[in-house]
Amino acid sequence: MRLAIFDVDGTIVDSAAHIVDTAQYVFRQNELTVPTDADVRGIIGLNLEVAMLKLCPSLSENEAEALAQDYRDHFNNKIENGLIEEQLYDGAIATIETLAGQDETFLGIATGKRLRGVERLFKDWGFGHHFHTLQTPDNNPSKPHPGMIETAMSDTGIDPNKTVMIGDTSYDMAMAKSAGVKAIGVNWGYHDHSTLRENGADLVIDHYHQLIDAIDELTG
């Protein structure tokens, strides 16, 4: 048996434009220096409170929490008014369905996205039933802390040497290394090939059709 754990933003769904727009809006509304597109893309995958502190280190923890809540409120308001439609990357659902059809493979999620957002994505696209464990910031520390992966392995009973993390950022790769599992970087997300390798990726792939072979290679 083996466990394949997926990140969400930048790995399954391309949500960068909406994340950048929302972050810049709340910084502008709070009369703070507005981060660049690149700066915002660089923090995707972190818990929002941690992300806000990275974008503006002068914030207190309470101010970062308030800014994160402003972000959530604005993002959710856009969703409720039909202004956000998150698009999946080509091949994502087909690959997930193929893996889910393998008796030896458990699937998991480990994401900086809140549970509410993950459940909305599952409802919109109808593939949530394939996942056996779902780890979000609602009940875990922020990446790159290994807690999400450790809980996913505990939920499924899979050992580290049969577990692989699939993600698009340095935080995913560092989290995998901290948890003692293999890491596959995807080159279609928000951190580049070199950054993924430097932070512990065992393999970096360019297309979803390469993922199953990569998982086979790393989990034996």
Same domain, 74 and 28: yes
**φ, ψ (nearest 5 deg) of residue 163:** -120, 140
**Burial per residue of 80-114, b for 16 or more beta-carbon CB atoms within 10 angstroms, e otherwise:** eeeebebebbeebbebbeebbeeeebbbbbbbbbb
Same domain, 67 and 122: no
What's the residue count for the chain? 220
Longest dimension (CA), the chain: 53
Q: Using CA atoms, how far apart are residues 181 and 202, in angstroms rounded to an integer? A: 10
For the beta carbon of residue 200, count every other beta carbon within 10 angstroms. Answer: 19
Same domain, 173 and 105: yes
Share of the chain above pLDDT 70, in %: 100
Same domain, 149 and 167: yes
Q: Using CA atoms, how far apart are residues 113 and 11, in angstroms rounded to an integer? A: 12
pLDDT per residue rounded down to tens, the chain (220 residues): 999 999 999 999 999 999 999 999 999 999 999 999 999 999 999 999 999 999 999 999 999 999 999 999 999 999 889 888 889 999 999 999 999 999 999 999 999 999 999 999 999 999 999 999 999 999 999 999 999 999 999 999 999 999 999 999 999 999 999 999 999 999 999 999 999 999 999 999 999 999 999 999 999 8
CATH number at residue 148: 3.40.50.1000
Same domain, 71 and 155: no
Same domain, 20 and 7: no
CATH number at residue 46: 1.10.150
Same domain, 172 and 211: yes
Strands (DSSP E) contained in 111-187 are 133-135, 163-167, 182-186
Same domain, 213 and 123: yes
Same domain, 21 and 34: yes
Q: What is the pLDDT of residue 85?
A: 82
What distance, in Å, lies between the first and last C-alpha atoms of the chain? Answer: 10
**φ, ψ (nearest 5 deg) of residue 39:** -65, -45
- Continuous segment of H or E residues that includes residue 27: helix 16-29
Q: How many domains does the chain divide into?
A: 2
Q: Using CA atoms, how far apart are residues 7 and 9, in angstroms rounded to an integer? A: 7
Q: Using CA atoms, how far apart are residues 182 and 166, in angstroms rounded to an integer? A: 9
For the beta carbon of residue 34, count every other beta carbon within 10 angstroms. Answer: 15
Q: What is the pLDDT of residue 139?
A: 94
Q: What is the pLDDT of residue 86?
A: 84
Tell me if 166 sits within 8 A of 4, measured CB to CB: yes
Structural domain boundaries, residue 75: 16-80
Same domain, 150 and 186: yes
Tokens describing residue 13: 């769904």
Tell me if 67 sits within 8 A of 60, measured CB to CB: no
Same domain, 127 and 206: yes
Q: What is the pLDDT of residue 199?
A: 97
